[in-house]
Amino acid sequence: MDEVDDDEHGTATLTLEADGTAVIAVEGEIDLSSGDTVSAAIIHAVDCNCTRLVFDMSEVRFMDSSGFSALLESRTPPAPVLLRKPSHAVRRLIETTGLGDVMQIEP
């Protein structure tokens, strides 16, 4: 398990599971100050040759366009991407922008 921490805004913890799934648990805010934190976790997951990428969004309080960009960047690797348990506000942003059309959302 690796943790990338942006003290004030959020953390991204990467866990690699035995089946090749990389789970990035994001907490706090995904904004201009912490978007790079999420991007770093994505890069690390890709470097580990994950077969599936899961973002646990259950603890994300806020996400702006920086977070949206980081999630879009995650589609670059050939692994499927799943967004797990986004909050109501984050889910609304995902659905409004059309990101939900290209990534699976788990309730």
Q: What is the per-residue pLDDT across 10-58, written as a single tens digit (0 to 9) for each?
A: 788 999 999 989 999 999 888 888 878 888 888 888 888 888 899 999 9
CATH superfamily for domain 2-106: STAS domain (3.30.750.24)
Dump pLDDT digits (tens) for 58-98.
Answer: 999 888 888 888 888 777 666 788 999 998 888 888 888 88
48: which 2 tokens? 């580990």
Measured CA to CA, the distance from residue 14 to residue 22 in angstroms comes to: 7
Q: What are phi and psi of 98, to 5 degrees?
A: 90, 0
Measure the CA–CA gap between 8 and 28, rounded to whole angstroms. Answer: 9
Cβ neighbour number for residue 106 with a 10 Å cutoff: 12
Show me where the domains of the chain are located.
Answer: 2-106
Query: Taking every pair of C-alpha atoms in the chain, what is the biggest distance, in angstroms?
Result: 34
**Six-digit token pair at 5?**
């921490």
